[in-house]
Amino acid sequence: MGARLTYMDVAKGIGILSVVIGHVVIDYGGGRTPFVLALYTFHLPLFFIISGYFFTYRPGFKAFLTKKCRVYLIPYAFAAILITGFEIMAQSVLGDRPVAESTSYMLLGFIMQRRFTTLWFLTALLLGELIFWLLFRFVKNMIGICVASLMIGLAGVGYSELVHVPLPWNLDAACVVVLYLAVGAMLKSHDVIALLMRDRWRNICVLVAVSVVCSLINRTMNGEPYEMFAGQYGIFPLTIVAACTGSLAAILLSSTLRGPLSDGLSWLGRNTMVFFLLHKSIAMPITVKALQATHLGAAITSISGDAGLVFVICLGVMIICCAIRWCVFAVHLGVPRW
């Protein structure tokens, strides 16, 4: 189990890097490039599939609910307070709109939570796991759970395609999360990852090829990228295949990495929460504002183009998130921990 945890942490590290890079490139590096579209194919499904892989059903819904609320809602509340405080300070400096208006907007957004900041991910995962527990409680067998998960996932996609209005706490996205959780649970129950590792490099190539082909067909036929945040799922069978094969390829690749690269990605994977919740709402605006104030952004762009600017912003974002993480642990434990 220790080895599994290690390479799954590395896979989550790859996932959070993909999330950060994707957001930076979209905002400051040329928009939805083919590279970003490739990252969006698997970077969120990867987290949901890994969550499903480690999902364990235990009787007692109250205990399960308490545990999951502690795991997800405490970080949610902490990040919401931090982001709201940051927004209030920013508005007091910039003066774009009254602080009271900004505060009420932020608080209402976090209470209703309809794709509001990157924290939407936590509520979707929380509700998804609660629904998944109920499936285990009432359906019992794995085949039935997978069929029910598929139906629930299709219901979430159908709602997004027809209504285009996110449900409170992102229940529509949570329905799709249930499907990915079932994929992860199936991978574990049939020991699929161990089977694929027997010839991992060949399987990585095959999985990447399948993911790319499905994504290209999906993009060509549908005309819009896969984007859970926007409720865009494309041609869903192709989307699911592309996401699952891309996620499996990332997991297999993670199992091949060694040394400092593996250690660094594993550390990122174990600290995904801080990076995911705060990179776009706090770390990215601070980095960009610093580059603008010092005129370094324009200088970097003139020398190395958008690619250089993206690299520097990503580096700044990671450094700021690391600093926040260090401060949180220092305050909580009284000593710095890495």
The predicted model scores a pTM of 0.93
159, 156, 163, 197: which is closest to 180 by C-alpha?
156
**pLDDT per position as a tens digit, 143-158:** 999 999 999 999 999 9
Residue type at 255 in one-letter notation: S
Taking a C-beta distance cutoff of 8 angstroms, is the pair 120, 229 a contact? yes
Q: What angle do CA 259, 315, 312 make, to 5 degrees?
A: 130
**pLDDT per position as a tens digit, 206-237:** 999 999 999 989 888 877 778 888 888 988 88
**pLDDT per position as a tens digit, 104-143:** 889 999 999 999 999 999 999 999 999 999 999 999 788 9
Grouping H, G, I as helix, E, B as strand and the rest as coil, residue 232 is: strand
Taking a C-beta distance cutoff of 8 angstroms, is the pair 134, 148 a contact? no
